[in-house]
Chain A
Amino acid sequence: MEGQRRLKAAKVLLIGAGGLGSPLGLYLAAAGIGHLGIVDFDVVEFSNLQRQVLHTTPDVGRRKTESAAAHLRAINPEIQIATYDTRISSANAMELVRPYDIVIDGTDNFPTRYLVNDACVLLGKPNIYGSIYRFEGQVSVFAPSAGPCYRCLFAEPPPPGMVPSCAEGGVLGILPGVIGCMQATEAVKLILGIGEPLIGRLLLYDALEMNFREVKIQRDPQCPLCGERPTLHELIDYEQFCGVRGQEAPGAPLESDFEISVEEVKARMDRGDDFDILDVRNPEEWQICRLEGARLIPLGELPARMQELDPSRELVVHCKGGARSAKAVELLRQAGFVNVKNVRGGISEWASKIDPSMPKY
């Protein structure tokens, strides 16, 4: 009973109600966590349902926080749920994190991971970290003063475009279930004060090989946040730190000079204009549908294969929805390509407006 009382008294902040947040929320609610905060700004989409098992088909279009709260209350009507239908940012992170005992990082991008880490270190809150990509996952517990933080492990994020996100590279739907359940386990252990928390240890999971590897990680004395001489004393601009201008949602990352509509691409094709089409999706997406004459170089391979493209030719770049191709255009511009444009809305827009016979996915 004492353990159950502790769980009921615990205040846990779940950042992200997506792939990782789904098993986390379900198991924490079922375990009897008393106070659960859920931060997410997104709405449920059909493409989420393969892995975000907290949401169901009738929830499509609903706010994720609202859908999550409803399903979790159905499991545990006693749970106190606070929903924050907002994007966590430097402006609100400290106030969001402050009231909670434990933070669980179920986010899906580098800027937010560094933001969550920094807020937790500055406020002295344990951060239960989990991340996934395709068939692999990582789990650790970053506990201020007891072990390393995320910055000790990865001092800087990869350059934009080098490591694809799940939206870009895909993810095995079961994978967040495995990793999220391990995060939930660590949360319950911390609350109950039992077992050996995953502090100073990084667990690596490979679903294809079906193996777990554990490695030791240590605090970095040079860490700007928790090292011997910290230089970071407040939250910073994380999108600038990570070299990105914003989230990976389509729209607005590029000025209009570097964008082109699907209608314009079609009209130019019909006119016989001379330009190249670059598809930066993954090979499995290419198998589903493609534009005639397009050339495939997945975004993750672009930095190493840029020399295969001719900078003197006009290049029209597309992906599924326009986000990856926006990154590709940015990379190409940085590499000196001048005449390069992103197809707004990507091949999904093409399938909707130009060729309804094209399969959508």
Chain B
Amino acid sequence: MIRVALPVHLRTLARVNGDVTLDIEGAVTQRSVLDALEARYPMLRGTIRDHVTLKRRAFIRFFACEQDLSNESPDTPLPEAVAKGTEPYLIVGAMAGG
């Protein structure tokens, strides 16, 4: 089971509270996690990755185990702690409130 932490505006959009949990078969990579997330919550399509290119949008970043994975290959396996669900996969968005 994978835990995914979404920024608050995307939690609102997906109508979820707290972290999202996903079951993923096969390799746990950023691509497989995001594919599973968008399959479960279609309203998130285009908000995290570009609709067409599936590249990360410039106002979103990905982290896990304190490390910035934003520019890593989407097919690189995620850390074991994420794959086991002990650490969340963080999707962090720009916010501007003050």
In the complex, A197 Cα to B74 Cα: how many Å? Answer: 31
Across the interface, do A164 and B9 meet the contact criterion of CB distance under 8 Å?
A: yes
Chain A residue contacts of B63, Cβ below 8 A: 215
**In the bound complex, CA of A301 to CA of B90 (Å):** 21
Q: Are A18 and B94 in contact (CB under 8 A)?
A: no
Chain B, 34-63, CB within 8 A of any chain A CB: 43-47, 57-59, 61, 63
Q: Which residues on the B side are within 8 Å of A171 (C-beta)?
A: 97
Contacts A154-B59, A300-B13 given; indicate if A162 touches B47 (C-beta within 8 A).
yes
Asked if A133 is at the interface (CB within 8 A of a chain B CB), the reply is yes
Are B58 and A215 interface neighbours, CB within 8 A? no
A294 within 8 Å of B (CB atoms) = no
Query: A301 near B68 (CB under 8 angstroms)?
Result: no
Say whether B66 faces chain A, with CB atoms less than 8 Å apart.
yes
Given the known inter-chain contacts A157-B59, A300-B12, A304-B13, please indicate yes or no for A166 contacting B97, CB distance below 8 A: yes
For A204, the closest partner residue in chain B by CB is B92
Q: Does A310 contact B (CB under 8 A)?
A: no
Closest residue on chain B to residue A179 by CB atoms: B98
Which residues of A are found within 8 Å of B45, using beta-carbon distances? 304
Query: Is B77 on the interface with A (CB-CB < 8 A)?
Result: no
Q: Are A156 and B98 in contact (CB under 8 A)?
A: no
A10 at the interface (CB under 8 A from B): no
CB of A133 within 8 A of CB of B47, answer no
Q: Which residues of B contact A74 (CB under 8 A)?
A: none
Residue A192 CB within 8 A of the other chain: no
Q: Which residue of B lies closest to A201 (CB)?
A: B66
Name A113's contact: one of B61, B90, B96 (CB within 8 Å): B96
Chain A residue contacts of B68, Cβ below 8 A: 215-218
CB within 8 Å of B: which of A135-183? 135-136, 138, 153-158, 162-166, 169, 171, 176
The answer for the CA separation of A213 and B46 in the assembled complex, in Å, is 26
Return B12 CB to nearest CB of chain A, in Å.
6
**Interface flag for A350 (CB, 8 Å):** no
User: Residue B18 at the A interface, CB < 8 A?
Assistant: yes
Q: Which residue of A lies closest to B69 (CB)?
A: A215
Interface positions, chain A 86-115, Cβ under 8 Å from B, are: 105-110, 113
Whether B18 and A209, one on each chain, are in contact in the complex, defined by CB atoms closer than 8 angstroms, is yes
Per-position 1/0 for A21-42, Cβ under 8 A of B: 1000000000000000000000
B85 interface residue (CB < 8 Å to A): no
A322 at interface by CB-CB < 8 Å: no
- Would B92 and A108 count as touching, CB distance under 8 A? no
- Whole-angstrom CA separation of A19 from B67 in the bound complex: 30
CA distance A131 to B67 in the complex (A): 21
Q: How far is the CB of A16 from chain B (nearest CB, A)?
A: 5
Q: Are A163 and B96 in contact (CB under 8 A)?
A: yes
Contact B59 A133 (CB under 8 A): no
Q: Which of A16, A164, A300, A305 contacts B98 (CB 8 A)?
A: A16
Which residues of chain A are near B17, meaning CB under 8 Å? 208
Q: Decide if A134 is an interface residue (CB 8 Å cutoff).
A: yes
Determine whether the beta carbon of B12 is less than 8 Å from that of A19: no
Query: How far apart sit A214 and B92, CA to CA, in the bound complex (Å)?
Result: 12
Chain B nearest CB: distance from A214 CB in Å? 6
Query: Do A136 and B7 form a contact, CB below 8 Å, given A215-B92, A304-B13?
Result: yes
A158 — nearest CB in chain B belongs to which residue? B59
Task: Output the least CB separation between B38 and chain A (Å).
Answer: 12
Which residues of chain B from 65 to 98 have a CB within 8 Å of any chain A CB?
A: 66-68, 90, 92-98
- 10 extra interchain contacts, Cβ-Cβ under 8 A, other than A163-B96, A166-B98? A19-B97, A106-B98, A132-B95, A136-B7, A154-B94, A157-B96, A169-B97, A215-B63, A215-B67, A217-B61
- Contact sample, A vs B, 5 pairs, CB 8 Å cutoff: A131-B95, A138-B92, A163-B93, A215-B92, A216-B67
List the 9 shortest-distance A-B pairs measured between CB atoms, nearest first: A166-B97, A156-B58, A108-B98, A133-B95, A155-B58, A154-B94, A215-B63, A158-B59, A132-B97
